[in-house]
Amino acid sequence: MFKRLLIALLGAGWLLAGSAQAEVPANYRMVLLTENFPPYNMSINGKNFAQEDNIDGIAVDIIREMFKRAGIQYNMTLRFPWDRIYKLALEKPGYGVFVTARLPEREALFKWVGPIGPDDWVLLGKSDSPISLSSLEEAKQYKVGAYKGDAIAEYLVEKGLQPITALRDQENAKKLMAGQIDLWASGDPAGRYLAKQEGITGLKTILRFDSAQLYLALNKEVPDEVVQKLQSALDKMRSEGLVDDILNNYL
């Protein structure tokens, strides 16, 4: 009997020790890195370096609330280039980078919290556009505007389209409204955000031809307890409708 009691007490001690180890240290602080990628993350002054309150955007607002609810301390910095901040998050314990696509080749490199939001490729039209498409092939008969040098523009060329490119993507919003192009190939929600900056709203998604979800990628040394707390906070925010509210606030 005594032996059984001793084993039970020792077992309980091990469980308590394991639970204590799983707790996040009181002074644990993360370093969060991001880049200019409107409307998800952007510096308020438009420059390629900003910290804390000088960073704005959909993902920034979501992540701030998420960390607040989870009770995790952090510092946030926006800097350039992307390759550098991605490498830091990959190599340094306690670091994270956002927002980034959760691709198969990256899956085992990080711990993930999300999704924060979509990063889709779309063809946008005016609100009263009669155009209806089921494939990019069908878009070849129309004048399609795109951002010069952008991955979307290059993809369209690969697919046999001949996009009319602009030096600034927001110029395509004005060209669309002026009838100079029939369709605007852009990101979603990026395109709608850029259009809003030009006073243009109500654009219609004619075709969604690629889709991805964006995440917060955390260094693999970040404790699982931290990841779980952050994911739970985000899931609760989404169930409350707060994530959609933040997204719509920018669009």
Q: Which long-range contacts (CB under 8 A, 24 or more apart) does 43-49 make?
A: 43/78, 48/78, 48/79, 48/80, 49/77, 49/78, 49/79, 49/80
Considering the domain architecture, whether residues 195 and 139 belong to the same structural domain is answered as yes
pLDDT at 27: 86
Listed as ranges, residues in the chain with pLDDT below 70 are 1-22
Q: Work out the percent of the chain whose per-residue pLDDT is above 90.
A: 82
Considering the domain architecture, whether residues 62 and 38 belong to the same structural domain is answered as yes
In this predicted model, what pLDDT tens digit does every residue of 128-162 receive, in sequence order?
Answer: 999 999 999 999 999 999 999 888 999 999 999 99
Domain, as residue range, for 107: 27-117+212-250
Considering the domain architecture, whether residues 194 and 230 belong to the same structural domain is answered as no
In a domain, 20, yes or no: no
Q: Work out the percent of the chain whose per-residue pLDDT is above 70.
A: 91
CATH number where 80 lies: 3.40.190.10
pLDDT at 93: 97
Considering the domain architecture, whether residues 102 and 68 belong to the same structural domain is answered as yes
For the full predicted model, state whether its pTM sits above 0.75: yes
In this predicted model, what pLDDT tens digit does every residue of 80-102 receive, in sequence order?
Answer: 999 899 999 999 999 999 999 99
